[in-house]
């Protein structure tokens, strides 16, 4: 499965609900997965200075990320594919 970032605007005041939103996102992804849609919620990242929040998923398509976000009542601006590289995966670097 590919990784996708769901991006949304989140003010500093709204960031207090980030943990709750992440819980809802995980529950929505688990529900979709039980229904046969391959998707897994990984984590949330909040860039306070930019007032931007990203929810990271592994999924079969961006549409499944949008559906999980809809079910979680998370107002996503866009979903983009992301490449996630961990240092342990790099060779010779």
Question: pLDDT tens digit string along 72-81?
Answer: 999 999 999 9
Please report, for the chain, the start and end positions of each structural domain, with discontinuous segments joined by +. Answer: 2-84
* Structure tokens that stand for 62 in this block: 């961006």
In a 10 Å sphere around its CB, with 0-12 CB exposed, 13-18 middle and 19+ buried, how is residue 86 labelled?
exposed
- Using the predicted structure, report yes or no on whether residue 68 has a pLDDT greater than 60: yes
Work out the pLDDT band at 88, boundaries 50, 70, 90.
low
How far apart CA 56 and CA 5 sit, in angstroms, is 5
CATH architecture observed for domain 2-84: 2-Layer Sandwich (3.30)
Q: For 6-10, 31-35, 65-69, which range has the lowest pLDDT when averaged over its residues?
A: 6-10
Average the pLDDT over 30-56 and give the result. 94
Residue 12 has what pLDDT?
65
Question: 6: which strand partners?
Answer: 55, 79
* Contacts with 58 (C-beta within 8 Å, 6 or more apart), sequence order: 1, 2, 3, 4, 39, 40, 42
């Amino acid at each position: 499965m590919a990784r996708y970032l769901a991006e949304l605007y989140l003010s500093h005041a709204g960031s207090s609900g980030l943990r709750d939103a992440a819980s809802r996102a995980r529950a929505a992804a688990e529900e979709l997965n039980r229904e046969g849609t391959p998707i897994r919620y990984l984590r949330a990242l909040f860039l306070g200075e930019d007032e931007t929040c990203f929810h990271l998923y592994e999924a079969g398509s961006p549409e499944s990320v949008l559906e999980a976000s809809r079910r979680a009542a998370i107002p996503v601006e866009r979903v983009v594919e992301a490449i996630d590289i961990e240092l342990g995966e790099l060779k010779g670097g």
